[in-house]
Structure 1
Amino acid sequence: MADSIPKPRIAFFVSTLTAGGVQRVTLSLAGGFADAGHPVDIVVTQGGGDYEKHVPANVNLHVLEPSGILQSRWLAWRTARIPSAVLLKPVLLPFRSSRVLRHIGSLAGYLIRHRPAVLVSGMSYPNLVALWARNRAGVPVRVVVVEHNTLSQTIKRVRSRWRWRYLPAVLRNAYRQADSVVAVSNGVADDVAATTGLPRAAIRTIYNPVVSSALTERGAIRPDDDWFNPGMPPVIVGIGRLTSAKRFDVLIRAFAALRAETRAHLLILGDGRERSRLEALVRELGVEDSIRMPGFVDNPYRYLSHADLFVLSSDYEGLPTVVIEALACGCPVVSTDCPSGPREILDAGAFGELVPCGDDEQLAQAMARTLAAPPDRERQRTRAQTFSVDASLARYREVCFDE
């Protein structure tokens, strides 16, 4: 009889389905809840994107329409419930505020029409929109906000955009209205508490859902690339958006130093605004014959499963999904000891060397040591199970439905 009772609807709000760690996490959670029998919606502010075709068949996709700039400012003012207009400066004053803020009204309309029991959102600005849309809608929906990155580092890197200086106070006020505040690592949770002033005890850590049988199956496919043929030099892989925070320039310089001593290839998977600058650096260092940058690929796991080394060179992260994916594929790992995530994932260096951020010389040395004495691949895979989809879903059920 209990099986006939419909399970509550859960909605996931993310700005777009353009390639990124937040998007992969959203798809994994949405698919997991749908497979468990919940009606599931993914709500986005913009259609298209690399991952739209990966939305599970049993998950509904809703694309919101934006309001005009003036109307969105008015809605933010009416729904934020912030006692001081000063705190709303980053929302009300800039002519070009974050695009996602223009969807408060349409997200409220979605909540009124579809009445999900829970709305899970990810990243700072979508989290604000989720909370303010609930205030606008006036319907009973549990809102769970998730922080994926170290907020202090994000603010530091965009310090020229003055409105970000006001963001911690806005988030502190808004997150007090959330039913649950989640961080993807203990490092992110510590940083959110320190940056916003929220009590650390009010922030729960839930690791991202990464490892699944589907990942293993996709990783078993051999790359159609002559670099992976027997007898070829070792292949080093870097994966991520080509942005300044990922510091692929450091990886390229480290690889050039390594390449001067030994034969090797570097494959960087991903795309972004830094592409032309990175390609110029490759030419400057004279390693065009040893580095490929093919852009976004649909199945990075087959490269990780057959590569000799994965390297993360970021200046900051939240919980870098790709490091977990590398472990799950059995791939040796070297990472910068950036805030936050790599140290937690790699258990303080037990499952991969950690090096200082921005130091291409030490990165090159760690890469050489790992290639010379790679870790046991099965041990890497076992460590990755800490970040399984099933473990993450169990924790999200607790915060979503008080189970």
Structure 2
Amino acid sequence: MKKVKILFYIYQMGAGGAARTLLNIINNLDRSKFIPVLVTLNFDGSYEKEVKEDVVFIKLPTKRLSKSIFQLSKIIRDEQIDIVFSTIPRVNTIAIVANKLSFSKAKNVIREADNLGGTWKTNLQLLGFGLVYKLSSQIVSLSEGVKDNLIKRYKIKPKDIEVIYNPVDVESITEKISSGRMNPEDENLFDTTDKIIITAGRLVEQKDQKTLLSAFAKVNQEIPSRLIILGEGPLEDKLKQQAKELNVFERVHFIGFKNNPYIYFQNADLFVLSSIHEGFSHVIAEALATGTPVVSTDCLSGPSEVLNKGEYGDLCEVGNIEEMAEKMTGVLSLEENNLEKRIAMGYTRAQHFDAKKIVKEYESIFLNSAVK
């Protein structure tokens, strides 16, 4: 059987969840059936070095999506691509247009990763994306909540949407924990009798670390704790100022982006996600895979699905400082046997999203789309 050649198109192989998802799919694809080709804009991404060596990796000579259309179109044609896979609305739109201009037989499979919408301007834009999305062969939603949003705001028919959860490479996470180590300057942060609370994500409004800092200040009054924040972003200075105003600056540590965050997760007592909205929330599934208990906001729409409505981790209302602090304190106060039970349940839940299982679902989509 002829192998299916798949072009994976993304803005950059950076530090975000979309890049991590593509990395997990690409690296776990069955090479007896598929040939992966990765195309990005002209950026250096932190996940590039983790892409398997047999992947054809093409970096376009532009940093602007709008200027990549004809270059991408030529690659689709010259490489005789069968499937063009992309994620994120603007990237999806460019991928679909480029494919149409290639005049090839390639099919578009697009992935929607977040619950977007709200203002009339954004909602109108999403309707426009929906019109373009309808030109694709298959639309993949990474959660049931995102599927509902596609139906409501993009006006996509339910039958055209397939829900596939994000792949979590449990094997890779386990290997990185066993073979990796923290940066030496970070090790002393964990050398303490204080409880360690950790979070990871871009320092932006969506992730709402502002609420987390306020909740942490309350937790620290009852249980001596440290908050470790992995990630970078434009709000770092504001968040540091907030920590000073809350009198917890000495207990809050901004340590930036880490290529191997899993060893940090594993050495923490609790992982907290404070987001306002998420598509799936890859990071809490990864935290469960490291054996770390999770507290998350019950935001639209991923956390509740990952944690199965609170069965595998605590959920709290978005922006509710008091409830978040209460949930955090509850986990940090668990007796040893209850804590061990919770950790075991969380690890079992992470297996539901194991990359080898999830990638098989993607492979089925790719094969079906190739013969449409």
Once residues 24 and 184 of structure 1 are traced to their aligned partners in structure 2, the CA distance between those partners, rounded to angstroms, is: 13
Q: Cα distance, 1:61 vs. partner?
A: 1.5
Q: Cα distance, 1:11 vs. partner?
A: 1.2
Partner of 2:108: 143
| Residue number among 3, 14, 26 corresponding to 1:7 in the alignment | 3
| Residue number among 225, 236, 240 corresponding to 1:275 in the alignment | 236
1:3-402 matched pairs, under 5 angstroms: 7-33=3-29, 35-36=31-32, 38-66=34-62, 99-152=64-117, 155-156=118-119, 162=121, 164-220=122-178, 221=180, 223=182, 224=184, 225-229=187-191, 232-373=193-334, 374=339, 375-402=341-368
- Tell whether the 8 Å contact from 1:211 to 1:384 is kept in structure 2 after alignment: no
Once residues 247 and 130 of structure 1 are traced to their aligned partners in structure 2, the CA distance between those partners, rounded to angstroms, is: 31
The worse-fitting range, judged by mean Cα deviation, of 166-175 and 358-367 is: 166-175
- Tell whether the 8 Å contact from 1:317 to 1:341 is kept in structure 2 after alignment: yes
Once residues 223 and 290 of structure 2 are traced to their aligned partners in structure 1, the CA distance between those partners, rounded to angstroms, is: 25
SS state at 1:115 partner:
coil
Q: Which stretches in structure 2 are left out of the alignment for 5+ residues?
A: none
Once residues 308 and 363 of structure 1 are traced to their aligned partners in structure 2, the CA distance between those partners, rounded to angstroms, is: 16
SS state at 1:302 partner:
helix
| Structure 1 residues 165 and 194, CA gap change in structure 2 (3 angstroms) | closer
Once residues 142 and 60 of structure 1 are traced to their aligned partners in structure 2, the CA distance between those partners, rounded to angstroms, is: 19
- Tell whether the 8 Å contact from 1:31 to 1:58 is kept in structure 2 after alignment: no
Partner of 1:88: none
Once residues 207 and 219 of structure 1 are traced to their aligned partners in structure 2, the CA distance between those partners, rounded to angstroms, is: 23
Once residues 273 and 37 of structure 1 are traced to their aligned partners in structure 2, the CA distance between those partners, rounded to angstroms, is: 43
- Which structure's residues are more often strand, by fraction? 2
Once residues 372 and 259 of structure 1 are traced to their aligned partners in structure 2, the CA distance between those partners, rounded to angstroms, is: 12
Partner of 1:79: none
SS state at 2:8 partner:
strand
| Structure 1 residues 269 and 35, CA gap change in structure 2 (3 angstroms) | farther
2:332 partner amino acid:
L
SS state at 1:130 partner:
helix
- Tell whether the 8 Å contact from 1:211 to 1:328 is kept in structure 2 after alignment: no
The worse-fitting range, judged by mean Cα deviation, of 201-210 and 333-342 is: 201-210
1:171 partner amino acid:
F
SS state at 2:151 partner:
helix
Once residues 106 and 222 of structure 1 are traced to their aligned partners in structure 2, the CA distance between those partners, rounded to angstroms, is: 41
Once residues 34 and 228 of structure 1 are traced to their aligned partners in structure 2, the CA distance between those partners, rounded to angstroms, is: 40
Alignment TM-score, normalising by the size of structure 2: 0.92
Once residues 25 and 169 of structure 2 are traced to their aligned partners in structure 1, the CA distance between those partners, rounded to angstroms, is: 12
| Structure 1 residues 365 and 118, CA gap change in structure 2 (3 angstroms) | same
1:327 partner amino acid:
L
SS state at 1:172 partner:
helix
Q: Cα distance, 1:235 vs. partner?
A: 0.6
Alignment TM-score, normalising by the size of structure 1: 0.86
SS state at 2:194 partner:
coil
> Alignment length, in residue pairs?
360
Q: Cα distance, 1:394 vs. partner?
A: 0.9
Q: Cα distance, 1:110 vs. partner?
A: 1.1
Q: Cα distance, 1:244 vs. partner?
A: 0.6
Q: Cα distance, 1:216 vs. partner?
A: 1.0
| Structure 1 residues 100 and 166, CA gap change in structure 2 (3 angstroms) | farther
Once residues 240 and 54 of structure 1 are traced to their aligned partners in structure 2, the CA distance between those partners, rounded to angstroms, is: 20
SS state at 1:387 partner:
coil
Q: Cα distance, 1:57 vs. partner?
A: 1.3
CA deviation map 1:213-236 (0-9, x unaligned): 11112123454512323x521110
Q: Cα distance, 1:41 vs. partner?
A: 1.2
Q: Cα distance, 1:36 vs. partner?
A: 4.9
1:363 partner amino acid:
M
SS state at 2:292 partner:
coil
Once residues 35 and 371 of structure 1 are traced to their aligned partners in structure 2, the CA distance between those partners, rounded to angstroms, is: 44
Once residues 319 and 32 of structure 2 are traced to their aligned partners in structure 1, the CA distance between those partners, rounded to angstroms, is: 43
Once residues 143 and 13 of structure 1 are traced to their aligned partners in structure 2, the CA distance between those partners, rounded to angstroms, is: 11
Once residues 145 and 342 of structure 2 are traced to their aligned partners in structure 1, the CA distance between those partners, rounded to angstroms, is: 27
SS state at 1:12 partner:
strand
CA deviation map 1:303-350 (0-9, x unaligned): 111210000000000011100001111110000000011000001001
CA RMSD of aligned residues (A): 1.7
- Tell whether the 8 Å contact from 1:264 to 1:290 is kept in structure 2 after alignment: yes
2:350 partner amino acid:
A
Higher relative contact order (CA 8 A, sep 6+): 2
Q: Cα distance, 1:302 vs. partner?
A: 0.5
Q: Cα distance, 1:133 vs. partner?
A: 0.5
Q: Percent identity?
A: 30
CA deviation map 1:41-78 (0-9, x unaligned): 111122202222222212122112349xxxxxxxxxxx
